[in-house]
Amino acid sequence: MMDFVEVNSYVKVLASFKSGGDIGRSVMPIKMLHGGREVVFSELGLYHPVAAGRRMVHVFDMSDGGSDYRLEFDAERLVWKLISITSCR
């Protein structure tokens, strides 16, 4: 059974940034701090950009091997938001 939790809160993310190419290939979340706990990502599921008004928001579906996390990176405001967590029990 899958547990889905909507979070919608800003989080601290350590990301790797490479020069050149589009943001989907040049930015990769490595780990985040959420609820006093460090989550280390092991794989990228999906990436897609979304227009949010005049801003571009980059959506990353990440996994730590046990749970899936949907993160949004606002490229204008330079902030990360954890949208949801899906875990198997």
Of 2, 68, 17, 33, the residue nearest 60 (C-alpha) = 68
pLDDT digits (tens, 9 = 90+) for 13-31: 999 987 766 655 678 899 9
Looking at residue 83, what is its pLDDT?
A: 98
- Domains of the chain: total: 1
Query: What pTM value is reported for the model?
Result: 0.87
For residue 26, the one-letter residue type is: S
pLDDT digits (tens, 9 = 90+) for 65-79: 999 999 999 988 999
Q: Which residues contact 21 (CB under 8 A, 6 or more apart)?
A: none
Domain that holds residue 64: 2-88
